[in-house]
């Protein structure tokens, strides 16, 4: 993927609604309240969500199927079905699907503000 395609994908992702198709998979909001959102996130094999950071919400990820490679801050972990992780606010993070079947995650966002404009996606992130 060229840098131009990458930038276009990021812009498209930033301005899309909460639910819907993404270049890496699909997001479906299951339930939403004033200070929380529960989503089903499906990531295609060998795809991932770009590195991001947000300051006003925390996230909990529970793997429903597949394997997740999660980088959160300076830690990298692999999660299998029925395993979970916590992403604190103000922590750079990303998730990838290194497997050959779709990765399905339940994502619980909780915080004082859940707006898409609270997400920053650094252009360079040197974690592998």
Q: What count of residues does the chain have?
A: 128
Count of domains in the chain? Answer: 1
Spatial CA neighbour of 24 closest among 110, 107, 103: 103
pTM for this model (two decimals)? 0.79
**What is the average pLDDT across 31-41?**
95
Mean pLDDT lowest for which of 6-10, 33-37, 119-123?
6-10
Whether the CB-CB separation of 120 and 54 falls below 8 Å is answered with yes
CATH code: domain of residue 80: 2.60.120.10
Distances (CA, A) of 127 to 8, 58, 85, 118: 22, 21, 18, 22
Task: Copy the structure tokens of residue 83.
Answer: 């395993």
Across 30-55, average pLDDT: 95
Does 45 or 14 have the greater pLDDT score? 45
Domain for residue 19, yes or no? yes
Would residue 101 count as lying in a domain? yes
The answer to whether residue 125 sits within a structural domain is: no
- Kindly state whether residue 128 falls inside one of the protein's structural domains: no
Any residues with CB less than 8 A from the CB of 117 and at least 6 apart, and which?
none
- Residue 17 counted as domain residue: yes
Q: Is pLDDT at 53 greater than 60 in this prediction? A: yes
The predicted structure's pLDDT at residue 109? 96
Domain that holds residue 21: 3-120
Q: State pLDDT tens for residues 56-78.
A: 999 999 999 999 999 999 999 99
């Amino acid at each position: 993927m060229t840098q131009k395609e990458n930038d276009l994908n990021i812009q498209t992702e930033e301005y899309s609604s909460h639910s819907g198709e993404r270049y890496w998979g699909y997001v479906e909001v299951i339930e939403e309240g004033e200070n929380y959102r529960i989503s089903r996130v499906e990531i295609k094999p060998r795809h991932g969500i770009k590195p991001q950071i947000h300051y006003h919400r925390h996230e909990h990820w529970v793997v429903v199927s597949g394997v997740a490679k999660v980088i959160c801050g300076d830690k990298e972990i692999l999660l299998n079905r029925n395993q979970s992780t916590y992403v604190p606010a103000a922590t750079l993070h990303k998730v990838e699907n290194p497997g050959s079947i779709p990765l399905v995650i339940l994502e619980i966002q909780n915080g004082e503000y859940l707006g898409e404009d609270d997400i920053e996606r650094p252009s360079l992130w040197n974690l592998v």
